[in-house]
Amino acid sequence: MGKTLEKFLKDKEFKNSEFIGAIIINLILLYVINNILSWKLSFILASFKYVIPILNIVIVTSIILNFLYLVYKKEWFWSLSQAALNLINYIMLSTVYRIFPFHFKNIYIYYMFRGLLIVAMLVTLTAIFGHSLKFILKNIYTTKK
């Protein structure tokens, strides 16, 4: 096995502080997402209510996974769950792109935001591929030993 592959397959160093921090941030996001329409922000359209369910699914899934990472620190579970979470993230990003519940008066900001969503979708697809590949290769090399 080459050095590049060994580096790619190296186990993640699990830190409980990362998972606890992610849980706290996701709880704050959950509150913001579910209350943002009541704040009457000028650039958030009423159609935002159509993306709230998928945003909630992503956030709650992330919270659950981070709780699980606190007690179950296995590399195969990390890679597989990250691939699944990124798949859900891709669905969320494409939903936000399709519905686009934002109104920007400046056309450049409008296209920049849409462009950022496209970049985020491409990065997420790359992450799905990477985590899936790591899961598969890790299982192949650990079963050979």
**What pLDDT sits at residue 7?**
74
The answer as to whether 5 is a domain residue is: no
Mean confidence (pLDDT) of the chain: 93
Q: What is the pTM of this model?
A: 0.90
Q: Which residues pair with 102 in a beta bridge?
A: 44
Contact 95, 115 (CB under 8 A): no
- Distance between CA atoms of residues 111 and 97, nearest Å: 11
Residue 119 lies in a domain: yes
Residue 81: C-alpha distances to residues 6, 61, 74, 115, 139 (Å): 21, 10, 11, 27, 15
Is residue 99 one of the residues assigned to a domain? yes
| Rounded Cα distance, 139 and 143, in Å | 6
Q: Looking at 3-12, 59-68, 99-108, which range is the least confident one? A: 3-12
4 inside domain: no
How many domains, the chain? 1
| pLDDT score of 93 | 98
Residue 9 lies in a domain: no
The pLDDT tens digits for 44-91 are 999 999 999 999 999 999 999 999 999 999 888 999 999 999 999 999
Q: Is residue 45 part of a domain?
A: yes
Give me the domain span that covers residue 25. Answer: 15-144
Rounded to an integer, the average pLDDT of 126-137 is 94
